Structure 1
Amino acid sequence: MEPTTPSTICCIVGGGPAGMFLGYLLARAGIQITVLEKHTDFLRDFRGDTIHPSTMQLLKELDLLDEFLPLVDFRTDTLHVNIEGQDFVGPTFKHLNTTCPFIGFVPQWDLLNLMSEQASRYAEFDLRMGTKAVDVIRDNERVVGVRWESATEQGEILADLVVAADGRSSTIRDAVHRQASQQGIPIDVLWFRLDRPEEDDSHTLAWLKNGHMLVTIPRRDHYQTAMVIKKGAFDSIQQHGLPAFRETIAEVCPLLANVAEGVQDWQQVKLLTVEISRLERWHQEGLLFIGDAAHAMSPVGGVGINLAIQDAVATANLLAEPLRQQNVSEQHLAAVQHRRERAAIRTQRVQSMVHSLLFGHASSPGQPFSPPWYVRIGVSVLQPVLRRLAGRWVGIGFQPEHIETPDVHKP
């Protein structure tokens, strides 16, 4: 007798925030799931590290907040910006009606490890690290599973539903010949580490001077630093050499002048190609896209990880019962897109507006940061109102979700 192909109720491709949250929620609800994660661990840098009040509220609803908060490197209820040497108060979260009215800066691998450890308590949860999905299995037009490979073997797994949560470079998206529509973005981002200066108070997140912009994300012993550059300008920056690069860092943020010497090789500088993109249709029979695989966000507002988690929660809320009955129709999948698409579109529109106001258009010349005079005046006049509005947009988003799935293992 030939061996049967392994099967599961739901196969989630991608062990990022969306995939791990969805896997945890479904396993907690008593539904058999398998998560395929192509890397062998979660220890990867240059990823979203800002956990917003909306996500911490979800962790509170899951009774995981007490386990999460010790992982926070730094928390703030108000973001500060330094423009041309002058400090300004940016978005504030103090007014938000949530358990945690602040942003927490947490290495993403710590969050993913937490969710993995919590999910592993459930027998229904199967996480396969170092396992890359390479294609889908079809039965006519319906997706019925995934083909995978690891360093030592390859195989197949059948599933009632495949959820592609494998990011903006989604393998599953390519496998089913889906292409996301792209918006023209004028910037890219360079990521690198810098030591934390002893005199730093960690409250200023962004530094803008002479057409340049730095973002300093605090961690326990260093800054995860981002330099905003014109799209496609990295080659030119490299040609000018590392001394010029370090001089730019010191010019924009004098506080970092000494620690900038820590960048000794271009291998320490990683290019993040910024994009805003979105699938027109997030589903087909047996397959659903969520998170960046459905709608890639720019770094503006640091909302991407939190929006992906909201997708996962909505997916679990809407699909847990159909999955339990092993009767997931495309109408059920369409309901997920209907629930989450508007929030994704509105968020991307805000990001595009910020890009245009602060950085110009993709084809515009000059430095990356060049807001026109009327924007500077408008921001100054409307600062109190904008601080609260920006705090709500960043901290809560346009469509906050709440946990509706049960924990079937509780008496």
Structure 2
Amino acid sequence: MSQQSCCIVGAGPAGLMLGLLLARAGVAVTVIEKHDDFLQDFRGDTIHPSTLEVMAELGLLDELLTLPHQKASALYAEIDDRAAKIADFSRLPTRCKFIAFMPQRDFLCFLVRKAAAYSGFRLLMGCQVTGLVQQGGVIEGVRVIEKGSERTIRASLTVGADGRESIVRREAGLKVEDLGSNVDVLWMRISRRQDDPAVPMGHAGPSQGLVMIDRGDYWQIGFVIGKGSFDDVKGDGLPALRRRLASFAPFAGERFEEIADWSDVHLLRVRMDRAGQWWKPGLLCIGDAAHAMSPIGGVGVNLAIQDAIAAANTLAGPLRDGTFSSRHLATVQKRRAFPTKATQRVQMMMRRKRSPTQPKRPPAFLRLIARSRLLPHLTGRLIGIGFRPEHIRN
């Protein structure tokens, strides 16, 4: 049989990793991205030890780590007025025993450069998917608008890697179970000064209401608000938000004057969900398109990359040999369903239940971790590696 091709919708970490691995295996693959560039701010910037291990297996780790990044060998939360270690990566059986905080645009551009070395790889930027091509219940490609012109891109396999608002998943009619979320997150930045107090990387403030990430020349600030309350926060005015931030942060209040306009405040609508079935004949969803994760632990990007590796391991041979069928798609979901459900379960245990009587009390699960010497290593393994790490098959 002749070789079959693949069309991937979404040039995020999962889509580009899958594109790289399929092209490396000799499969003709087209990756479609609706944006013109990778400059979207406050995307998931954590590269976990499991992903760094995969980059080592590809022979790309040393070059990747020449890009600007910060290392976190542990994650902390402020509990009972002290910085408590809640995840320790120092004992992981991996080459890199740290999380690398790297701007996602740098990581994505790196993957593109490596994938472009293979003749079967093609990336279409500024190309908007408008629908799926279906014939007899089988997905045979996508309809797109590129540079104002409509056209069809056909492929034996279409992969939805286009995030939690996936148009591929919606057009395919895949049903999603909403696992609920009681918070959203506001992302901002303020400049970093030489005399700023030392704050452990990935430090979360009292009740995990404020997260601070040292990005070298600036602080990335995450502020937790009630679900759907952003309009109320805006109604209170920017000065009120600055005062709330200052009440949590170890900085003088005037530092937050750098947040000059609401355009400096980026809303992340937190969702946790998963599709009951990730595939239909000719189509597979991976990453957030199959299962949106909470930002707790920053595991979403890395779980998506693990999906991509499992998909490449399962699908590359059949696509190349022309023997691809729906049973291979079911195999991918079967392999990745357990780590997805288990990770979401842990995230649900770690999130704080908002209470008007105890609004600043961390969840009991985190307080238990903070009191233990062993548990931070366990949570470090769960966050850093996951329940079922994937590895590259040559």
| TM-score, normalised via structure 2 length | 0.95
SS in 2 for 1:323: helix
**Paired residue for 1:144?**
140
- Decide whether the 8 Å contact of 2:212 with 2:221 is kept in 1: yes
Alpha-carbon distance in 1 for matches of 2:45, 2:142: 30
- Decide whether the 8 Å contact of 2:74 with 2:201 is kept in 1: no
Aligned partner of 1:167 among 159, 163, 183:
163
**Paired residue for 1:87?**
83
Aligned partner of 1:191 among 187, 197, 216:
187
Alpha-carbon distance in 2 for matches of 1:26, 1:377: 43
Q: Which one is further off, 22-31 or 236-245?
A: 236-245
Aligned partner of 2:123 among 113, 122, 127:
127
Partner amino acid, structure 2, of 1:392: R
- Decide whether the 8 Å contact of 1:275 with 1:296 is kept in 2: yes
Aligned partner of 1:244 among 237, 240, 247:
240
Partner amino acid, structure 2, of 1:189: V
**What 5-or-longer segments of structure 2 have no aligned partner?**
none
CA offset digits 1:281-316 (Å, max 9, x no partner): 011110001000000101000000000000000000
Partner amino acid, structure 1, of 2:75: L
**What 5-or-longer segments of structure 1 have no aligned partner?**
1-6, 407-411
**Paired residue for 2:37?**
41
Per the alignment, do residues 376 and 345 of structure 1 end up closer, same or farther by CA in structure 2, a change over 3 Å counting?
Answer: closer
- Decide whether the 8 Å contact of 2:214 with 2:220 is kept in 1: yes
SS in 2 for 1:70: coil
**Paired residue for 2:202?**
205
Alpha-carbon distance in 1 for matches of 2:335, 2:69: 33
CA shift, 1:202, in A, is: 4.7
Partner amino acid, structure 2, of 1:371: P
Partner amino acid, structure 2, of 1:378: L
SS in 2 for 1:96: coil
- Decide whether the 8 Å contact of 2:180 with 2:273 is kept in 1: no
Alpha-carbon distance in 2 for matches of 1:36, 1:132: 8
User: 1:401 and 2:390 equivalent?
Assistant: yes
Aligned pairs for 1:25-36 within 5 A: 25-36=21-32
Alpha-carbon distance in 2 for matches of 1:206, 1:346: 24
User: 1:294 and 2:287 equivalent?
Assistant: no
- Decide whether the 8 Å contact of 1:212 with 1:368 is kept in 2: no
User: 1:371 and 2:367 equivalent?
Assistant: no
Alpha-carbon distance in 2 for matches of 1:376, 1:287: 39
Aligned partner of 1:105 among 98, 101, 107:
101
Per the alignment, do residues 10 and 256 of structure 1 end up closer, same or farther by CA in structure 2, a change over 3 Å counting?
Answer: farther
**Paired residue for 1:409?**
none
- Decide whether the 8 Å contact of 2:84 with 2:370 is kept in 1: no
Number of residue pairs matched by the alignment: 391
**Paired residue for 2:281?**
285
Partner amino acid, structure 1, of 2:329: L
- Decide whether the 8 Å contact of 1:83 with 1:207 is kept in 2: no
Alpha-carbon distance in 1 for matches of 2:17, 2:349: 30
CA shift, 1:86, in A, is: 2.2
Partner amino acid, structure 2, of 1:263: I
Aligned-residue identity in percent: 45
Aligned partner of 2:12 among 10, 13, 16:
16
CA shift, 1:46, in A, is: 1.3
Alpha-carbon distance in 1 for matches of 2:365, 2:25: 49
Partner amino acid, structure 1, of 2:377: R
SS in 1 for 2:387: coil
Alpha-carbon distance in 1 for matches of 2:33, 2:330: 25
- Decide whether the 8 Å contact of 2:350 with 2:366 is kept in 1: no
SS in 2 for 1:384: coil
CA offset digits 1:1-25 (Å, max 9, x no partner): xxxxxx9700001100000000000
Partner amino acid, structure 2, of 1:285: P
User: 1:360 and 2:353 equivalent?
Assistant: yes
CA offset digits 1:56-96 (Å, max 9, x no partner): 00000001111110224210212233346422223110100
Alpha-carbon distance in 2 for matches of 1:71, 1:334: 37
SS in 1 for 2:251: helix
CA shift, 1:254, in A, is: 2.2
Q: Which one is further off, 28-37 or 65-74?
A: 65-74
CA shift, 1:123, in A, is: 0.6
Q: Which one is further off, 285-294 or 260-269?
A: 260-269
Alpha-carbon distance in 2 for matches of 1:251, 1:212: 13
**Paired residue for 1:333?**
329
